[in-house]
Amino acid sequence: MHPLVNIAVSAARAAGNFIMRHHGRVDQLQIERKAHNDFVTQVDRGAEAEIIRQIHKAYPHHAILGEESGEIAGSEVTWIIDPLDGTTNFLHGIPHFAVSIGIQVRGKLEHGVIYAPCTQDLYIASKGDGALLNNRKIRISTCKDLSQALIGTGVPLREEYLDRYLPMLRNVAAHTAGLRRAGSAALDLAYVAAGRLDGFWEFNLKPWDIAAGVVLVREAGGVVNSLDGSADVLKTGHVLASSIKLQDELVKLLQ
């Protein structure tokens, strides 16, 4: 395992342990609203602080891009962190959330780690080395028929995207085997990488939501592009992930 990934795994597990100590104790948390349907708690902040502590203990000069702490300048290596992807699920006691850590080297995504503390599922990927779930190789779905495909999605919170999204939802629902809106983009992408979902799309995601998942899907043999056709999904945030076989058909439904 790459040394950077070793640290990412240790950091993700430490953050996951911190999160689980507070799981089921929502009544004791201070909850702040960052925007409509966008919440943050001291658990998010504490988990991110734990991740940054682990990273800077090993690599004190590395840069950080965190959901809660923002950007911390550093070297040519940047750690892109979502300490608790699925905060709303966490707040409602739904055991579906994750720690997500992506690593850029000289501006290119190289490594990704996603850890789901409730199931203790650990997803790891490094560019050129494939993707793993709990130390076993994973591959993208082999589904060739869109009518048999299970597709994940996320409902946009901003009205400007909702108007564009609803016709897409109708099209995909009419032409696939089903839709899932689980509430964690990081885990949606991990599920695509593991073949649990056949595809996933969502608007207006942030780099920390998707950085690790993008590496996982690509290393599992899948495709991740922006809904506008660009390959730079970290900039647009409009994500479409699937197998190569389903990508063109999904693009047609989503146009």
pLDDT in tens, 185-233: 999 999 999 999 999 999 999 999 999 999 999 999 999 999 887 778 9
User: 85 labelled as ligand-binding?
Assistant: yes
pLDDT band at 31 (very low <50, low <70, confident <90, very high): low
Q: How much is the pLDDT for 100?
A: 98
DSSP 97: -
- The amino acid present at 83, given as its one-letter code, is P
pLDDT tens digits, one per residue of 103-149: 999 999 999 999 999 999 999 999 999 999 999 999 999 999 999 99
User: 84 labelled as ligand-binding?
Assistant: yes
Domains of the chain listed by start with CATH number: 3-137 (3.30.540.10), 146-254 (3.40.190.80)
pLDDT tens digits, one per residue of 73-116: 888 999 999 999 998 899 888 999 999 999 999 999 999 999 99
Average pLDDT of the residues of the chain: 91
CA angle 219, 214, 63 (to 5 degrees): 110
User: 44 labelled as ligand-binding?
Assistant: no
DSSP 146: G
Q: Which residue has the tokens 């599922």?
A: 121
Question: Tokens representing 58?
Answer: 């090993």
CB atoms within 10 A of CB 27: 5
Q: Do residues 136 and 123 touch, judged by C-beta distance below 8 A?
A: no
Question: Tokens representing 32?
Answer: 């702040």
Q: Which residue has the tokens 């060739």?
A: 144
Residues for the chain: how many in total?
255
User: 67 labelled as ligand-binding?
Assistant: yes
